[in-house]
Structure 1
Amino acid sequence: MNQPHLRFLITKNYKNLSLDQVVRLKNLNIFIGSNGSGKSNFISCLKFLKDSLTKIPDESRSVSSFEDAVAQIGSNRILDVSVESPARVRLAYCFSFSPLPRDSSILDLNIFVNRDNARGISIAEEYLYSGENLYDSTAFTPFYYYKFHAREVGKGAVSVYDEPGQVSKTHFEGLDNIPTNFLGLTAIPRLLEDSQSPPENTPVYKIRRDLIELVSKWQFYNANNMDLNLIRMAEPKIGGSDIYLSSSGDNLPLVLDNLTLDNIHFDESINQAMKAILPNSHRLRPIRSGRLSLTVEWYFRDVKEAFYLNEMSDGTVRMLCWATILHSPVLPSLLVIDEPELGLHVSWMPILAEWIKKAAIKTQVIITTHSPDLLDYFTDCLENVFCFYSEDKTHFSIKTLSKEMLNDKLEEGWQLGDLYRVGDPSIGGWPW
C-alpha cells in the first residue's frame, strides 16, 4: 500500500488481547476467530484512538476526549483481569506514510489504570517516534518527535531543528504542564504557544496534522447496529454534507444524494451493484421528499411505479448500505465492518466478498466475520486472513494464514469456509 495506513497495533495488559509481536496489517484484512477471542477488542483500540484525537471534550461534565474514549471501551476494566492493579496498559500504533520503514511513525501510549477507581486512569507515558521497530533499536535510531511524562509526570520534551531545513541536526526543547487526562498529541498547539522556535522548525506539527487527518477519516460499522426500521423511515434534511454512512445508516438518502452529485460515475456504480443482487432492478435514486427532505426511490424492470425502502426486504436494505459504503468514490482511510454477512442470503456472499476486495484496492479495510459462506470467497487471499487464537484459553494473539499452512487441504478441494465449519485447528476452529 502506498497510501497512509495503519501498519500494526501492539497491546500489553489490554483486556484479553496479547499482541506483543508485530503482525503487519495489509490493505485487506479479514479477522476470524471464536466469540470472545479479541476481534472486537482490537477494533475498540482503534475507536479509542479516533475518539481521543477527534471528539470535542464535554466541558459541561469536565470530561476530556481521552477520558470519554476510555469510558467507551470499558474504563478501568480495560486492564487485563489477570494483572494486579494498579498497572499500565500499553497501546502502540504504527502508521505508514510510505513504503519505507523510516517513514513510519509509532504513537506509543502507556495508560495508568487503577481497577479500584473508575476515574483512576491517566496517561503515564506518551511517545511519538519514527520507524516501525519497537524492539530492535540497532535497526536505526528512531527520531523522537516528543517524549511526555518519561522522567517526571507533567514534563516532557519536543524535538526542534537547530536551523530551518537542517533536518539532521535537532535538539530537545523542554515542556511543562503537560496534561495526563488527554493525549498530549492533541495538546501540541497549546503546549508550544510560548515556544521560541517557529512551527517549520518543529517537526511534530506536520506529523500531528498527518496523523489526525488520517485517523479522523476512519469509519466503523457493525451490522448489529444498523437500524433497518430507522433507515427505511428516515428522511434526512437536504443540505447536509454527509459523505459517509452513519453507524445506524439513517442518513442513507443524504449520502446517496451527495455522492451522486459529487461524482458522475457513482450513480452508475451503485445501480450496477444493485443489479448484481436483484437482476430486475432498473434504477434507484435519492429524490426530494417534500421541500426539505430526501428519500430513496427504486424502480424495477416492467414495473411502472417506484418502490421505497420501507417496501424492501431486510437483506436488500443491508446490501444497499454495504454497496453505498464499499462503492463510494470517497472511501475512508480505514474502513472497519463487523460481521457484514448478518441478515444476508447466502447467494449474495460472493458478491459481497467481491465488493470488499475492490474497496481494499483503494483503501485499508478490516472485516470481522463468523460466516463460513463468506470465508469461502477469501480462499484466494489467505495471506489477508488473520486468525485470533489462544494458547492458554485466556489471552488471545493473532496469526496470519498462508497457502503453505493449508496447502494439503486446499489441494484436496477444501475452501477456507469449509475448514472453519469443521473446526480445523489450523484456523482456530469454529465456533470455539
Structure 2
Amino acid sequence: MLTTLAVENYRSLRDLVLPLSRLTLVTGANGSGKSSLYRSLRLLADASRNGAVAALAREGGLPSTLWAGPETIGRAVREGRTRVQGTVRSKPVGLRLGFSGDEFGYALDLGLPVPDLRTSFGLDPEFKRESVWTGPVLKQAKLLADRAGPSVRTREQTGAWSEDVDPIRHTDSMLSEFADPRRAPELLLVRERIRSWRFYDQFRTDSGAPARTPRIGTRTPVLGHDGADLAAALQTIRETGNDAALDEAIDHAFPGSSLDVANVDGRFGIRFRQHGLLRPLDAAELSDGTLRYLLWVAALLTPRPPELLVLNEPETSLHPDLLPALAELIAKAAESTQLIVVSHAQPLVRALEAAGDELGLDVGTLALVKEFGQTILSGQGTLDRPSWYWPKR
C-alpha cells in the first residue's frame, strides 16, 4: 500500500506531500487542485510505460505544466504587506513526482533540456534524476536503482553497486528500459505495480456512449476506460462467482430491480428490469444516472483488483439517492485494493466515511485549499507532513 504521495511544481501543486490511507478521499472546492492531483498520479503511471513525455506534450509541454508562481512566497506577501513578485531562482527548474510505501519508494525529476540547435525536439523534457529505494523514506543506503542524467546504476544482491553504469536516453524512464528480472528484480516489481494502477474518469453516458451499444462479448475481468465492454464485464462478474454482490449492488440502488446480460449471436447487451415495468430496458433506454451507476458497479466489482484504483468525481450525473449505494460499493472494493477518490460532493464524502468506518477501514479525508495560488492540505502543519526527501540532481 502507498503511504505517501509527493508532488512538486506541477501546476498549482507547488510543494505537496500527502499521507495516503487504504481509502483516501480527496475533496475541496472547484479550482482547489483536485484535478491536478489526479493528473499527477496519471503522469506517474505514464512514466512506467515511458509515456511521461508524450503525456506532458498533451498538456501543452513541460513549461505549461510547471508552477506559475514565484519560487518562494515571503512573509510580507503572506501578511498582505506587498504583492506577489518574481524572485531570483535558486533551484533548477523541474517537475517532481514520487510515492512511497512500507516496501518501496520511487521518485522522478523532469526538467528542461540543455538548448541544442541541432534538434527540432528541443522542448522535450528530460529525466534529470530517477530513484527507487526500499522503505518509506529515501536514504542513500536504501537505494536499489539510481539514475542521474544519461546513466543508470543498479545495486547487486551483495548490496554493492554494479560496476556497469548503463547509458539511457534523457527522455526514457529507467522503469521501462532497465526493469530486468535478473539484474534489477525490484525495479521490475515497482514498474509492474505502477502499471497495475487503474484510473476511471467520468464515463460517457450520452446517447452515443459506447456502453449503450451491444458488442461482441469476451471475458472481461477489467472494465475498459470508455465502458464499451460493460455488458461483458457484468457477465464476467456473474460467472466468476460474485453474482450475489452484483445483485446486491443493483437492489441497493434500485429496490426490486434486477439485471441480466443477453447474448444474441455472441453480442452482449444489458437487460435491466425495474419494478413496475412490463419489459426489461436495454442500455440505450437507460437514464444517464442509471447507466453510470452500472458502469461503476462493473469497475468496482472487478474480479482482478488493481494495486491502486483512482476514481475522479464518481458522483457525476448520479442522483443523491444513489450516493449511499455507490459509497458502499467503493468501501467494499477498498477491502481488496487501495482506493483514492477525488470528489467535491460532500454527501458522497460523508457516505464514504460512514461506510468505511462500518467496515473498519483506514479512511483518510484530505481537504485541498488554495493559498496564494498554490494548493495546500488544509490543516497540515510543517510537523504533520510525512517524511519525504527528493533525490538531488
TM-score by length of 1: 0.73
Pairing 1:270–2:246 present: yes
Pairing 1:113–2:109 present: no
Pairing 1:80–2:67 present: yes
Contact 1:227 1:250 in 2 (8 A): no
Contact 2:21 2:363 in 1 (8 A): no
CA offsets per residue over residues 139-181 of structure 1, 9 Å max, x none?
A: xx642112212xxx3223211134xxxxxx4233232321211
Partner of 2:173: 183
Partner of 2:296: 322
Give me the identity figure in percent. 23
Separation (CA, whole Å) in 1 of partners of 2:141 and 2:335: 31
Partner of 1:352: 326
Contact 2:369 2:376 in 1 (8 A): yes
CA offsets per residue over residues 253-300 of structure 1, 9 Å max, x none?
A: 121122322x12x2222122111122121x3122213x2321111234
Q: Structure 1 residues 356 and 106 mapped into 2: Cα distance closer, same or farther (>3 Å)? A: same
Task: Structure 2 unaligned segments of length 5 or more: list them.
Answer: 72-88, 116-120, 381-393
Pairing 1:24–2:19 present: yes
Greater CA drift, 293-302 or 364-373: 293-302
CA offsets per residue over residues 303-348 of structure 1, 9 Å max, x none?
A: 5532211122211111111122223332222111111112111122
Separation (CA, whole Å) in 1 of partners of 2:379 and 2:228: 36
Separation (CA, whole Å) in 1 of partners of 2:376 and 2:220: 37
Counterpart secondary structure, 2:298: helix
Counterpart secondary structure, 1:160: coil
Pairing 1:129–2:101 present: no
Partner of 2:41: 46
Counterpart secondary structure, 2:324: helix
Structure with more helix by fraction: 1
Partner of 1:229: 208
Separation (CA, whole Å) in 1 of partners of 2:198 and 2:228: 15
Pairing 1:367–2:341 present: yes
Q: Structure 1 residues 132 and 325 mapped into 2: Cα distance closer, same or farther (>3 Å)? A: same
CA RMSD of aligned residues (A): 2.8
Give the CA deviation at 1:16.
0.9
Residue of 259, 262, 276 corresponding to 1:284: 259
Counterpart secondary structure, 2:20: coil
Residue of 2, 11, 15 corresponding to 2:7: 11
Contact 2:237 2:301 in 1 (8 A): no
Q: Structure 1 residues 92 and 67 mapped into 2: Cα distance closer, same or farther (>3 Å)? A: same
Q: Structure 1 residues 157 and 208 mapped into 2: Cα distance closer, same or farther (>3 Å)? A: closer
Counterpart secondary structure, 1:172: coil
Residue of 18, 29, 36 corresponding to 1:34: 29
Separation (CA, whole Å) in 2 of partners of 1:286 and 1:118: 52
Code of the aligned partner of 2:123: R
Contact 2:203 2:225 in 1 (8 A): no
Partner of 2:367: 387
Code of the aligned partner of 1:122: E
Separation (CA, whole Å) in 2 of partners of 1:246 and 1:400: 37
Partner of 1:215: 194
Separation (CA, whole Å) in 1 of partners of 2:236 and 2:203: 25
Q: Structure 1 residues 355 and 252 mapped into 2: Cα distance closer, same or farther (>3 Å)? A: same
Give 1:119-158 correspondences, 5 Å limit. 119-134=123-138, 137=139, 142-149=141-148, 153-158=149-154
Contact 1:106 1:132 in 2 (8 A): yes
Q: Structure 1 residues 243 and 226 mapped into 2: Cα distance closer, same or farther (>3 Å)? A: farther
Contact 2:237 2:246 in 1 (8 A): no
Give the CA deviation at 1:186.
0.9
Contact 2:175 2:188 in 1 (8 A): no
* Highest RCO, 1 vs 2 (Cα 8 Å, sep ≥ 6): 2
Counterpart secondary structure, 1:384: strand
Separation (CA, whole Å) in 2 of partners of 1:350 and 1:215: 30
Code of the aligned partner of 1:355: L
Separation (CA, whole Å) in 1 of partners of 2:250 and 2:272: 10
Q: How many pairs does the alignment contain?
A: 349
Counterpart secondary structure, 1:322: helix
Contact 1:160 1:173 in 2 (8 A): no
Give the CA deviation at 1:41.
1.4
